[in-house]
Amino acid sequence: MSDKNPLETKVSRRSVIKAAAAAGALQMGAPFIGNARAAEPVKIGLDNPLTGTYAAVGKNEMIGCQLAIEQINAKGGILGRPAKLLVEDSTSGDAGTAVQKARKLIERDKVSFLLGNVNSALAMAMAQVAYEKGVIHVVPGGHTDSITGTDCHWNVFRICNTTQMEAYAVGPELLKKGGKKWYFITPDYAFGHTLQAGLERAAAKIGAVKVGGDLTPLGTTDFSSYLIKAQAAKPDVIIFLTQGNDMINALKQAVQFGLEKRFHLAGAQQELEALEGLPPEARIGTWVFEWYWKQPGVPHVAEFVAAIKKKTGRVPTARTWFGFASTWTCALAANKAKSLDARKMAKALQGMKLPPEVGLMPEQPFFRAGQNQLIPTLYVGNAQAKGPGGPDDLFNVTEVVKGTDVAGTLEESGCKMVWPT
């Protein structure tokens, strides 16, 4: 494989002109009213984890939302009215709390849009509430396939990848770098189940096999029993599908056991938050990132990174971008539809491409019509203790994968969209 960074794209004069034109359209295309600050705000409700296993990623999604709100208001707001973000802590794993907070945001706070959740099971529960109430729901980072698959709704959109997309993107590299015998350590809820299923399908296509696996409860702190079983199965690769604090605990303990000397420790979805929480010796393995801050030559990424660093002192993560893109999706939908009517906005989003300053990827991401799933770029590579880009450069991108190459067809997604009459 070439040493050249696959994100170092040559930007032609034509593409720069197109990006500038798109930026102008984003800024000027909406029917903004001059005195937006005096108008009643358009409320966007974020129902996401701020405590528990997924607190770090949930908070970063919130930071992305906050930056988007600032930019939207600087460009004239939503339909000439200021945008306002209302935030509720869903917790990391309590669907009842997430549903209660979603109802509060919709019924009492009168939000026009609902955002959330990191946890796929909570996102699915919230989607039912949003569907019942007829409110646009954007899922920033809940990955289980059925959200935009068999359980899809006309008013529910998703920014992050499906688990199938992640599995198909990283599967060949797991085989190449690790081997064909795979053992799974999987979180025991919707996200983990569908991600493992996706990897098993990917394995069948490329000649890899499952030699065992364990389901682990959310919030597990001691992975020793699972790691003992994993090494006894004598796999080539131990695949970690845990996330958040669970990923940190699992990988840290695996390295303490010295398993990295005998097996390839890897997985599918990896996050900068988890790599930051690991000791340098545990920043290893093959993974897929859904967005990465180091993208030389990709328009507007540097400005986004600088804006987030100004707010937090740290580079943005994929979660930061999820929140940012989700919030901008709300504004783009309303301003294109020239309405806050949910059905009109949902129709406006069918096939919509995110503008370059929102999409922040080599391939312009778009919402697949009839499914409401964003089709973005995926970043396959390896974790690293510290890269040339400084202390935040903890992932080396070796392959950029087009979402269209791994998303499957609309028919394969299982989504059968039913629109209100």
Question: In the prediction, which pLDDT does 303 show?
Answer: 98
Gap between the Cα atoms of 316 and 391, Å rounded: 13
Using the predicted structure, report yes or no on whether residue 18 has a pLDDT greater than 70. no
pLDDT band at residue 295 using 50, 70 and 90 as cut-offs: very high
Using the predicted structure, report yes or no on whether residue 34 has a pLDDT greater than 50. no
How many residues does this entry show for the chain?
A: 421
Percent of the chain exceeding pLDDT 90 equals: 90
Contact 57, 74 (CB under 8 A): no
Gap between the Cα atoms of 115 and 6, Å rounded: 32
Element (H, E) at 332: helix 318-337
Compute the mean pLDDT over every residue in the chain, rounded to the nearest whole number.
93
pLDDT band at residue 19 using 50, 70 and 90 as cut-offs: very low
Question: In the prediction, which pLDDT does 1 show?
Answer: 41
Query: For 19-24, what is the mean pLDDT?
Result: 41
DSSP for residue 407? S
Q: What is the pLDDT of residues 39-74, one digit of tens each?
A: 899 999 999 999 999 999 999 999 999 999 999 999
Question: In the prediction, which pLDDT does 38 show?
Answer: 62
pLDDT band at residue 179 using 50, 70 and 90 as cut-offs: very high
Question: In the prediction, which pLDDT does 5 show?
Answer: 61
Tokens describing residue 346: 């949902």
Query: For 22-33, what is the mean pLDDT?
Result: 40
The identity of residue 166, as a single letter, is E
Query: For 363-379, what is the mean pLDDT?
Result: 98
Radius of gyration of the chain (CA): 21
Question: In the prediction, which pLDDT does 31 show?
Answer: 40
Q: Is the dihedral of CA 26, 29, 33, 35 positive or negative?
A: positive
Question: In the prediction, which pLDDT does 421 show?
Answer: 86
Q: Is the pTM of this model over 0.85?
A: yes
Lowest mean pLDDT of 26-30, 170-174, 210-214, 354-358, name the range.
Answer: 26-30
Using the predicted structure, report yes or no on whether residue 25 has a pLDDT greater than 60. no
pLDDT band at residue 4 using 50, 70 and 90 as cut-offs: low
Give all domains of the chain, ordered by start, each with its CATH number.
13-161+298-375 (3.40.50.2300), 164-289 (3.40.50.2300)
Gap between the Cα atoms of 365 and 247, Å rounded: 28
Strands (E), 75-187: 83-89, 113-115, 136-139, 156-158, 181-187
- Residues with Cβ within 8 Å of residue 91, at least 6 apart in sequence: 49, 51, 52, 97, 98
Q: Which residues pair with 189 in a beta bridge?
A: none
Tokens describing residue 117: 């959740």
Strand order in the sheet with 156-158: 83-89, 42-48, 113-115, 136-139, 156-158, 373-375, 366-368
